[in-house]
Amino acid sequence: MKSVKVGLLGLGTVGTGVVRIVEGHQEDLSSQVGSPIVIEKVAVKNIDKHRSIDIERNKLTEDPWEVIHDPEIDVIIEVMGGVEQTKEYILEALNRGKHIVTANKDLMALYGAEILAKAMEQQCDVFYEASVAGGIPIIRTLIEGFSSDRILKIMGIVNGTTNYILTKMSQEGASYDDVLAEAQQLGYAEADPTSDVEGLDAARKMAILGSLGFRTNVDLRDVAVRGITAVSKEDILYAKRMGYEIKLLGIAERQDDEYSISVQPTMVKHSHPIAAVNGVFNAVYVYGEAVGETMFYGPGAGEMPTATSIVADLVAVIKNKKLGVNGLRAIGPYKPKKLRTDEQIAYKNFLLLQVADKAGVLSKITQVFAEYDVSLESVVQSPNASTSDAEIIIVTHNASKAAMDKVLNHFESLDVIRKVKSAYRVEG
């Protein structure tokens, strides 16, 4: 029986897991696809680096082109990261008729449309399940499971590193820096963890999910992004007191075929199932017009969960090969894209204000909300033990982003407000 030969670009956290699964589950895998699967060549940066798995040295190369150019290799698994150079490798592999499996959301969020178009032209598959929510089969679900529905909202915890950090800060009072170092050690964080904590990694994933869910071409520039670096322990404590957890949420919404996509730390009501998603776990909540509410949960990063998705994609490529349908089943974006304006985007807001503790303050503040037509759900005032000021927590009803920006702008010149300590979107 002819084996399927695989070239691996990268043998780090994810690549190592791929080798473990292909070797450890070989019998099951080859029974499913009808051929043995062989990891033929592996590109790494440093051939002399110590590896936690046994791999024949003559399979390793420091030149990715050697893998791309190998005529024996049928499928390239790209788990090395990088964008511009990696795109060249992928496009050339497609030119040579090789199928691609990748975990690279940076690449797919920026150049997915171009790569998928080339794949169709070459009748090759490009699968990227591992790129969003590592171990959760969410991409397959959006493409196939929801093909019959119209998706109105996708809300997700799609970054494992930041969820791990927020969970440890909330549950153990741990310090941000310590937990980030831990997440890096566990292999959850990106090579440059700035993209995790600044929300860019989640934004890339939301661009991918938005494109698939709404069947339109969501560009990374369409995603409004705010990361978790400014989330303080105080914010987390106040959130808990008011019945919320702070989560880095990606939110993609559709109304009348107009879209908004954002990533921001969000106050999520304890009663919402996404508030209970902790540690490196991810969850993607999908609201479909016909199906209603659904939610998908699982590990979002790490060696074995991510490798599970990669190898499942590999199995799909080989099954398609047997059926002769590679590159034929993809459906490109077909809906025109129209983004919602700040006047149209509306949600609840949580504000923590430091104010002068004297008579008439509350009425001055509520007058500002009234001026911009923002109505309030709750107002809680408490003295601040360490100063003569007071703190006010305000939760608004749904208000447009434009109106809230005006309120916050007005607060800058309102004498009774010392400081807007924090402002969060509220969900649930």
Ligand X SMILES: NC(=O)C1=CN([C@@H]2O[C@H](COP(=O)(O)OP(=O)(O)OC[C@H]3O[C@@H](n4cnc5c(N)ncnc54)[C@H](OP(=O)(O)O)[C@@H]3O)[C@@H](O)[C@H]2O)C=CC1
Active site residues: 205
List, in sequence order, every residue forming a beta bridge with 347; answer none if it has no partner: 399
Least spacing, CB of residue 159 vs ligand LTNE7NMQ, in Å = 4
190 sits near ligand LTNE7NMQ (criterion: CB under 6 A): yes
Q: x/- site string to Na ion, residues 277 to 316, per CB under 5 A?
A: --------------------------------x-------
Closest CA relative to residue 8, chosen from 73, 83, 84, 96: 73
80 sits near ligand X (criterion: CB under 6 A): yes
List, in sequence order, every residue forming a beta bridge with 349; answer none if it has no partner: 425
Q: x/- site string to ligand LTNE7NMQ, residues 275 to 314, per CB under 6 A?
A: -------------------------xx-------------
Least spacing, CB of residue 391 vs ligand X, in Å = 39
Least spacing, CB of residue 131 vs Na ion, in Å = 7
15 sits near ligand X (criterion: CB under 6 A): yes
Least spacing, CB of residue 303 vs Na ion, in Å = 15
Residue with tokens 């046994």: 54
Rounded alpha-carbon distances, angstroms, from residue 263 to 154, 170, 224, 343, 400: 12, 20, 6, 18, 17
In one-letter notation, the amino acid at residue 50 is H
Q: How many CB atoms lie within 10 A of CB 163?
A: 27
Structure tokens at 91: 């496009």
What residues numbered 35-74 form the site for ligand X, per CB under 6 A?
43-46, 49, 64
Least spacing, CB of residue 41 vs ligand LTNE7NMQ, in Å = 25
> 139 φ, ψ to 5°?
-70, -45
Closest CA relative to residue 416, chosen from 380, 368, 376: 368
Q: How many CB atoms lie within 10 A of CB 45?
A: 11
Q: How many CB atoms lie within 10 A of CB 67?
A: 24
Are the beta carbons of 7 and 89 closer than 8 angstroms? no
Least spacing, CB of residue 15 vs ligand X, in Å = 5
Looking at the Cβ atoms of 167 and 309, the one nearer to Na ion is 309
Stretch touching ligand X by CB under 6 A, among 5-13, 145-153, 263-271, 340-348: 5-13
78 sits near ligand LTNE7NMQ (criterion: CB under 6 A): no
What residues numbered 131-150 form the site for ligand X, per CB under 6 A?
134
Stretch touching ligand X by CB under 6 A, among 13-21, 217-225, 366-374, 420-428: 13-21
133 sits near Na ion (criterion: CB under 5 A): yes
Stretch touching ligand LTNE7NMQ by CB under 6 A, among 138-146, 183-191, 208-216, 415-423: 183-191
Stretch touching ligand LTNE7NMQ by CB under 6 A, among 23-31, 157-165, 238-246, 382-390: 157-165
Q: How many CB atoms lie within 10 A of CB 295?
A: 15
Structure tokens at 93: 């592999």
What residues numbered 167-196 form the site for ligand X, per CB under 6 A?
187-188, 190-191
Among 5, 41, 81, 138, the residue binding ligand X under the rule CB under 6 A is 81
Q: List all residues 6 or more positions away from 119 whose beta carbon is below 8 Å from its beta carbon.
A: 94, 100, 125, 126, 327, 330
390 sits near Na ion (criterion: CB under 5 A): no
Q: How far apart are CA 162 and CA 170, in angstroms?
A: 12
Least spacing, CB of residue 156 vs ligand LTNE7NMQ, in Å = 11
Q: At how many degrees (to 10) do helices 200-214 and 105-121 cross?
A: 40
Are the beta carbons of 207 and 219 closer than 8 angstroms? yes
Residue with tokens 């998603």: 277
Residues of this chain that bind ligand LTNE7NMQ (CB under 6 A):
134, 159-161, 188-190, 196, 201, 300-301
